Amino acid sequence: MNQFIKTPEQQALVDQLRALQPVFQAREPELDARGSFPFENIKDLKKMNYHNLTLPKEFGGQGFGLYEYVLAQETIAEGSGATALSIGWHVGIVLEYAENRHWHTKSAEWLMAEIAKGALINTAATEANAGSPARGALPRTSAVSDGDHYIINGEKTYTSMAPALDYIFVTAAAENDEVITVIIPRHAEGVSIDETWDMLAMRGTASHTLVLNDVRIPKSYILKSAGMAAAKG
């Protein structure tokens, strides 16, 4: 027995994931050779409701925390590293919300309902030839006000799990260099994926470039505001 498993619920979770390991491992050679995305692995995980592992129970999720998340991710990675990294972003972002409740309330309510039904999410913040957003770089991606909507233009690199996402959290510079995070539906008009990801390692994460060309979204699709101003001088 794994010495880190402390409860029957944790054991049941790990057992479910261990049962998928041989299946994931059998798919790895073809995925690696083709550099393709593990759609079937993600589908298998969704069948066991892994997408709502950390979703709060009041939203219809399982309500597990960081400890179970780490146990589960390690188990998935033993079967497929690319699958673990891809789905890990989704589950980890949901966990961050569960712990901090830092999204706008109305956005969070409908988004949690979508996730409970199977929607997958990830954040797209990194941009080519730009500074690190973690160190305060202002995004080149823009959000221009147009009545009750924003018009979003820009490109984001390293968008992991791009082919399977339903909603993407995009950081953009709005008026007065305020940085906001907006919810972009993957299939909204003007959204496309440039398949730039061609790496030796983690090829299966399909971390392609997200292209946003005059994407029109309601202002109610703001997820959160960072309140960051551009550096002067």
Q: Are residues 99 and 195 in the same domain?
A: no
Note whether residue 74 is domain-resident. yes
Q: Are residues 43 and 21 in the same domain?
A: yes
Q: Can you give the pLDDT at residue 230?
A: 35
Q: State the residue range of the domain holding 153.
A: 121-225
Note whether residue 232 is domain-resident. no
Q: Are residues 158 and 59 in the same domain?
A: no
The end-to-end CA distance of the chain, in Å, is 59
> Tokens standing for 114?
């979508």
* Chain segment 76-113, per-residue pLDDT in tens: 999 999 999 999 999 999 999 999 999 999 999 999 99
Q: Are residues 190 and 204 in the same domain?
A: yes
Q: Are residues 65 and 105 in the same domain?
A: yes
Domain with residue 199: its CATH number is 2.40.110.10
Q: Are residues 112 and 126 in the same domain?
A: no
Q: How confident is the model at residue 137 (pLDDT cuts 50, 70, 90)?
A: confident
On the question of pLDDT at 218 being above 90, the answer is: yes
- How far is it, in rounded angstroms, from Cα 203 to Cα 197? 7
The answer to whether the predicted template modeling score (pTM) of the entire model surpasses 0.85 is yes
Domain with residue 82: its CATH number is 1.10.540.10
Q: Are residues 172 and 219 in the same domain?
A: yes
Note whether residue 230 is domain-resident. no
How many Cβ atoms are within 10 Å of 176's Cβ, its own excluded?
7
Q: Are residues 125 and 221 in the same domain?
A: yes
Last residue of a domain, one of 94, 116, 138: 116
Q: Are residues 55 and 144 in the same domain?
A: no
- How far is it, in rounded angstroms, from Cα 136 to Cα 132? 7
CA dihedral 78, 83, 88, 94 (to 10 degrees): -130
**Average pLDDT over the chain, rounded to whole?**
90
Interhelix angle 39-47/8-34, nearest 10 degrees? 160
Report whether 209 contacts 194 (CB < 8 A). yes
Note whether residue 2 is domain-resident. no
Single out the residue of 224, 132, 212, 232 nearest to residue 179, CA to CA: 224
What is the domain count for the chain? 2
Instruction: Go through the chain and tell me how many residues it has.
Output: 233
